[in-house]
Amino acid sequence: MNTFKTKMWEYIVGFLLIIGMLLGVTFFKDSEILLPEVAAMTAGMWIYHEDSWIREPRKIITIPTVTASIGFFINRTGLTYLGKILVTTFFMLLVLRIVKIYITPSLATGLFPIIVNATHWSFLISIVISTAILMSGVLIRSLHEKSQIAYELNFKYQYIFLGIMATWIFITGLVGKPHMAAIPPIVVVFFEVLQKPAYPVKMAGKHIIVLTISATLGFITHILISSWIISALIALPLIFILLSIFKIQLPAAYAFPLLALILPHDMFDTLPITVLIASLFFFSTAYFYKKYETKKAYPQG
């Protein structure tokens, strides 16, 4: 099978997995089994073959399940919303430090139960089943054996990440907009770019534009179309076209059409502008930090 046919087959199978999840939501009448980050993980693992996500297949289940459990149980505590976000972020980073590998969508699976106030065990069961399917796809096709780069976390950036997240959480609390504290796709991409040796302004611009448009597409299709399945059938191909236009591989963008379906009203109503503002903050910060880091390393450059 040639490369084009293989890639198209990967897109089709990944798309069917996401639609299958939506069918499950309809059949069981349980929105907590809809996991937007599974769309991003499907794209990253089955389509883009992200090395850092697939090189240890068994951790495809364990790490997202652990972080999801952290968020799930912290959500049941009496902490404030912002407190839950901050504490969950801290413990998720601790997990990543222990396992010494970053499957970055696990940050989203940890934040998600707090954002949607997941309270049923079906949420965790859905995480296990979905990630088991993703792991099986990686193992069946031996994608992990083709992984060429052994990514490991630079722990320094975990402290930077936590500090910037805490700053953003404080700002959102200060202005009375706590729902802006954590947008999972943005958090995931921000964590990833901090780990990179450089972050050009062109790439920062692409991330801001693409994520904002992706959120807007999810927002508009959900407003215009009541059926979740039809909404996804329209929005997901549009995300594919968007990424093709910008010539960028960004799995997190695929999460927005599903995220828009289940966000609380206060988050959904301002989703596009929230994503724009949060993207400007996080990716501008990442750009300037990386620029500072480069100047510090090469003072004469």
pLDDT, tens digit, 9 for 90 and up, residues 225-257: 999 999 999 999 999 999 999 999 999 999 999
**Higher pLDDT residue, 25 or 112?**
112
Tell me if 92 sits within 8 A of 70, measured CB to CB: yes
pLDDT of 1 higher than 70: no
Query: How long a stretch of residues is the chain?
Result: 301
Question: DSSP readout, 35-93?
Answer: -HHHHHHHIIIIIS--HHHHSSTTHHHHHHHHHHHHHHHHTTSS--HHHHHHHHHHHHH
Q: Quick one: pLDDT at residue 266?
A: 87
Q: Quick one: pLDDT at residue 192?
A: 93
Q: Quick one: pLDDT at residue 11?
A: 83
Mean residue pLDDT of the chain comes to: 91
Residues 150-188 have pLDDT tens digits of 556 677 899 999 999 999 999 999 999 999 999 999 999
Question: Distance (Å, rounded) from C-alpha 179 to C-alpha 274?
Answer: 9
Work out the average pLDDT over 48-52. Answer: 85
Work out the average pLDDT over 277-286. Answer: 98
Q: Quick one: pLDDT at residue 52?
A: 84
Q: Quick one: pLDDT at residue 166?
A: 97
Q: Quick one: pLDDT at residue 147?
A: 66
Work out the average pLDDT over 15-19. Answer: 88
Q: Quick one: pLDDT at residue 231?
A: 93
Q: Quick one: pLDDT at residue 189?
A: 97
Question: DSSP readout, 220-236?
Answer: HHHHH---HHHHHHHHH
Question: Distance (Å, rounded) from C-alpha 45 to C-alpha 292?
Answer: 32
Q: Where are the domains of the chain?
A: 3-297
**Higher pLDDT residue, 49 or 252?**
252
Threshold 0.85, pTM exceeds = yes
pLDDT bin (cut points 50, 70, 90) of residue 135 is very high
Question: Distance (Å, rounded) from C-alpha 11 to C-alpha 5?
Answer: 10
Work out the average pLDDT over 67-79. Answer: 96
Q: Quick one: pLDDT at residue 217?
A: 97
pLDDT bin (cut points 50, 70, 90) of residue 27 is confident
pLDDT bin (cut points 50, 70, 90) of residue 6 is confident
Question: Distance (Å, rounded) from C-alpha 274 to C-alpha 134?
Answer: 30
Q: What whole-number percentage of the chain has pLDDT above 70? A: 95
Question: Distance (Å, rounded) from C-alpha 12 to C-alpha 137?
Answer: 13
Centre a 10 Å sphere on the Cβ of residue 83 and count the other Cβ atoms it contains. Answer: 15
Work out the average pLDDT over 257-285. Answer: 95
